[in-house]
Amino acid sequence: MAAAIEVLNVTKKFPSQKGASGFKEWLVRLPKNALKPNPYFTALDSVSYSVQKGECVGIIGKNGAGKSTMLSLLLGTSHPTQGEIKVEGKRTPLLELGAGFHPDLTGLENIYLNAVLLGLTRKQVTARLDQMIAFSEIEEFINQPVRTYSSGMYIRLAFSIAIHTDPEILLIDEIMAVGDESFQKKSGKALTDLIQSGVTTVFVSHNLSAVRQICNRSIWLDHGKIRMEGSPETVTQAYLDDSKPKASQEA
Amino acid sequence: MAFSHNFQRRLDLIILLTQKEFALKYKRTFLGIFWSILNPILLAVVFFAAFKVFMRFQINNYTFFLLSALFPWSWFSSSILISARSMVDNISLIKKVIFPRHYLVVSVIIAQLVHLVFAIPILLFFSYKDGTGPSMLWFVAIPILIGVQFIFTLGLCLMVSILNTYFRDIEYLVSVVMNLLFWMTPITYPISSIPPQFHFLLVINPLTGLMSAWRDLFQNNHFLWKETSISAVMAFLFLGAGIVVFKKMERRMDEVL
């Protein structure tokens, strides 16, 4: 099997003084900056691993352990400070559903824009339009601007677009709870089908039982480093054992 | 197959982003797309009143003189002003979806180009009235001028849009600089009215050649090859600089947005 994702010694640092950027501040700080480097926060610290084609890897860890940073690096919306990431295949994010939607465009216009952003041509979108709309269950509102949608409709439409774009590598950030209960079942099944059909998946979650159910392998991130890597059962168990005593201390 | 799919997809993406740019501009307006035609006409009326009625410029056929450079200028200036915010306004797209980010800028420039295309019939009317044109030359010269100006505008827009993600001051600075540039470029006045000691200002301004070429084409049915070629060279230099700056700063954009 070939590797779909290879992460080699990746470090990602963020400048600590995020946002304090005006041209004046920059000029004022220039003499100081020349002498000492900016303070930074290390989100990921020399992380290496690879994901084989068709594998489903679950990344777990506490808040702020670097999981979301890892996903945005894999997606390519952010670049590593050091190290290298090789990704073989089309990346489909299921991160913040509906992030690419524009509230003033209609559902239909947003379908075209988002599906093309996710790698289809307009012709392909037209061919799959009925499927996408049917799956999202918002037939009668499809010509309304999405700002009039409920949050559930918004997410259902975004999810439906994403899974109908022939994903090769799925990058999932905690979205098992999509819409109401019946839609949750439907979306969960659609995802499991995709994963079982051989789509490479990286799955970031706090839901340990979901990780155990669908993943072949699990990685535990802790303070930007890989703490443990192995079968989902062992890793999630070790993670649970580690967080339990601390939890009782805090209580 | 894979190549043609990719090409088609990229083309579709630019088309859709341009459509979005265009659709959003007139969403929730009563007149909708008619604003694209109304805008240049109203602009013309304002300048006609200012220069012909109040300041009484002694130039024959001043309205045509003005519009033949003002419409191309509007394409340039609105592209720069809008693209200054094109990265900042699309944060969610940039942070959550991968696609070539410069498409956002390209789509702004194309959407603004549509306004120029809508304005060309007005110029056509004037030149027909004057009996100077239009002629076959227009079919060659207009695409060339659009191409050169597109390249120049794209280079600047790339720089402005990416710099504005790091320093939000840029968009305020840009609106002032655009105003200055407008009066430094012979649009409301002819080149001949500038004292010789300030001619160097015109030479270092790539827009001078471009605007003169537009005007000469529409008014005299004559194409300024030399000026256009010089502007083209400068346009490519600006594009090169724009690409370098954009590529360099794009890599760390996620840390500042």
Lowest mean pLDDT among A1-10, B202-211, B217-226: A1-10
pLDDT for B218 beyond 60: yes
Q: Mean pLDDT throughout B22-38?
A: 78
Please tell me the predicted confidence (pLDDT) of residue A250. 47
Is A99's CB within 8 Å of B15's CB? no
Sheet containing strand A40-52, edge to edge, reads A40-52, A3-15, A82-87
Give the model's pLDDT for residue A251.
42
Tell me if A164 sits within 8 A of A131, measured CB to CB. Answer: yes
Q: How far apart are CA A139 and CA B140, in angstroms?
A: 48
Check if the beta carbon of residue A171 is closer than 8 Å to that of residue A140.
no
CB–CB contact B95 A123 (8 Å): no
Q: Residue range A144-167: average pLDDT?
A: 89
Does residue A212 carry a pLDDT above 60? Answer: yes
Give the ranges where chain A is alpha helix by DSSP (H): 23-35, 67-75, 107-117, 122-136, 151-163, 181-196, 208-214, 232-250
The answer to whether the beta carbons of residues B93 and A97 sit under 8 Å apart is: no
Of A221-230, B47-56, B217-226, give the lowest mean pLDDT range: B47-56
Q: Which of B9, B254, B256 sits opposite A72 (nearest CB)?
A: B254
Contact B93 A23 (CB under 8 A): no
Distances, alpha carbon A169 to alpha carbons A16, A88, A197, B124, B163, in Å: 32, 9, 12, 53, 32
pLDDT tens digits, one per residue of B110-155: 999 988 888 888 888 888 888 777 788 888 999 999 999 999 999 9
Q: What is the mean pLDDT of chain B?
A: 87
Q: What is the least distance, in Å, from the CA of A95 to any CA of chain B? A: 7
Q: In terms of pTM, does the model score above 0.80? A: yes
A chain contacts of residue B256, beta-carbon cutoff 8 Å: 18-19, 21
CB contact (8 A) between residue B9 and residue A120: yes
Q: Out of B47-56, B170-179, B231-240, which region has the weakest mean confidence (pLDDT)?
A: B47-56
Contacts of A229-238 spanning 24+ positions with Cβ under 8 A: A229/A49, A232/A58, A235/A60, A236/A60, A236/A208, A236/A211, A236/A212
pLDDT of residue A247: 53
Structure tokens at B187: 């649009």
Instruction: Identify the pLDDT of residue A172.
Output: 87
Q: How far is Cα A236 from Cα A217, in angstroms, rounded to an integer?
A: 10
Q: What is the pLDDT of residue B34?
A: 79
| C-alpha–C-alpha distance, residues B217 and B221, integer Å | 5
Evaluate if residue A22 carries a pLDDT over 70: no
pLDDT at residue B12, rounded to an integer:
92
Residue A220 Cα, gap to closest chain B Cα (Å): 23
| CA B116 to chain centroid | 9
Contact B97 A79 (CB under 8 A): no
**Element spanning B245, H or E:** helix B225-250
Contact residues, A window 110-129, toward B, CB-based 8 Å cutoff? 112-113, 116-123
Confidence of residue B81 (pLDDT cuts 50, 70, 90): very high
Distances (CA, A) of A249 to A243, A245, A246: 10, 6, 5
Give the strand pairing for A3-15 and A40-52. Answer: antiparallel
At A102-129, the pLDDT tens digits run: 888 899 999 999 999 988 999 999 999 9
Strand order of the sheet with strand A200-204? A91-94, A169-173, A200-204, A56-60, A217-222, A225-230
- Measured between beta carbons, the chain B residues lying within 8 angstroms of A89 are none
Q: Cβ contact (<8 Å) for B96 and A77?
A: yes
Predicted local confidence at residue B182, as pLDDT: 92
Contacts of B98 in chain A (CB under 8 A): 75-77, 91, 93
Q: Least CA distance to A14: which residue of chain B?
A: B255
A105 vs B: CB within 8 A: yes
Mutate to test the interface with A, among B13, B14, B17, B97 (most CBs of A within 10 A): B97
Cβ <8 Å between A22 and B23:
no
* Whether A23 and B167 lie within 8 Å, measured CB to CB: yes
The average pLDDT across B14-40 equals 82
Contact A93, B95 (CB under 8 A): no
Q: Which residue's entry shows tokens 């030399």?
A: B226
Q: Which residue has the higher pLDDT, B53 or B232?
A: B232
Contact B108, B21 (CB under 8 A): yes
CA distances from B132 to B125, B216, B220 (A): 11, 11, 6
Query: What's the confidence (pLDDT) of residue B78?
Result: 92
> How near does any CA of chain B get to the CA of A240, in Å?
30
**Which pLDDT band, with edges at 50, 70 and 90, does B37 fall under?**
confident
**A20: pLDDT strictly greater than 50:** yes
Identify the band that residue A33 occupies on the pLDDT scale cut at 50, 70 and 90. low
A70 close to A87: Cβ distance less than 8 angstroms? no
Closest CA to A68 of A231, A205, A240: A205
- Token pair in block for residue A117: 């952003």
Backbone angles phi, psi at A80, to 5 degrees: -65, 145
